[in-house]
């Protein structure tokens, strides 16, 4: 009977809760699930800390309401990226660090500090470089998972789509603010701030 149902058994013994078939199939396809989950932790640590730092950067764009609006979209979408990918870390047998300081320290991108001279130009440059680091991070994860882990690849390419949007937005704004050049991004206002059209996941609900 088992010969007729080849997917009923594999490397994980029946009833074993110490291993995950979802991780083992990734390994069988050539990707180390432990290495992948660590890269995901690094990546979502960057999304989480960027959400924090963008809050501060946005606050200092006083009087630049158009800049603040676009920064708010990017800020809230980075939070959505964190929420989207976090469950995948657990599915691969990982977990969040208990100490937020440990989590922040492992972020794959540098902290997006408020510059000493918090001019709109300088803030936009910080925002732009943060988005470029995110593009490189998620592109690496897409390359790593494309043919081995469809679930992670789907998440990573959805996040990547939005990070590319963000880069284009800040190129447009910085070009105009610093250089007086029109360098369009083709940006359209999201339906709601932080709508995250590619990556929105079900929000955490602790009331259950």
Each of the 208 residues of the chain gets a pLDDT tens digit; together they read 456 887 777 777 777 666 777 788 899 999 999 999 999 999 999 999 999 999 999 999 999 999 999 999 999 999 999 999 999 999 999 999 999 999 999 999 999 999 999 999 999 999 999 999 999 999 999 999 999 999 999 999 999 999 999 999 999 999 999 999 998 887 666 777 767 777 776 554 555 4
By CB atoms closer than 10 A (0-12, 13-18, 19+), residue 120 is middle
> Which residues neighbour 49 within 8 Å (Cβ) at sequence distance 6 or greater?
104, 107, 109, 111, 112
What does the domain layout of the chain look like in residue ranges?
29-179
- Kindly report the number of other CB atoms within 10 A of residue 123's CB atom: 27
Q: Which CATH superfamily is domain 29-179 in?
A: Ferritin, core subunit, four-helix bundle (1.20.1260.10)
């Amino acid at each position: 009977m088992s010969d007729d149902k080849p997917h009923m058994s594999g490397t994980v013994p029946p009833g074993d809760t110490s291993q995950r078939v979802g991780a083992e199939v990734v390994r069988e396809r050539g990707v180390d699930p432990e290495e992948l989950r660590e890269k995901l932790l690094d990546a979502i640590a960057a999304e989480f800390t960027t959400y924090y730092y963008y809050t501060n950067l946005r606050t200092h764009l006083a009087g630049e309401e158009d800049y603040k609006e676009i920064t708010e979209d990017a800020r809230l979408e980075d939070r959505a990226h964190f929420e989207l990918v976090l469950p995948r870390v657990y599915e691969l047998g990982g977990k969040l660090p208990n100490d937020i300081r440990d989590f922040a320290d492992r972020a794959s991108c540098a902290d997006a500090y408020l510059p000493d001279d918090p001019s709109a130009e300088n803030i936009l440059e910080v925002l732009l470089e943060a988005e470029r680091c995110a593009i490189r991070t998620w592109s690496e994860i897409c390359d790593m998972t494309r043919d081995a882990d469809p679930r992670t690849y789907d998440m990573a390419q959805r996040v990547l789509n939005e990070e590319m949007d963000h880069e284009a937005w800040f190129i447009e704004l910085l070009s105009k603010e610093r250089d007086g050049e029109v360098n369009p991004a083709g940006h359209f206002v999201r339906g709601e701030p932080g709508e995250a059209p590619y990556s929105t996941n079900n929000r955490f609900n602790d009331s259950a």
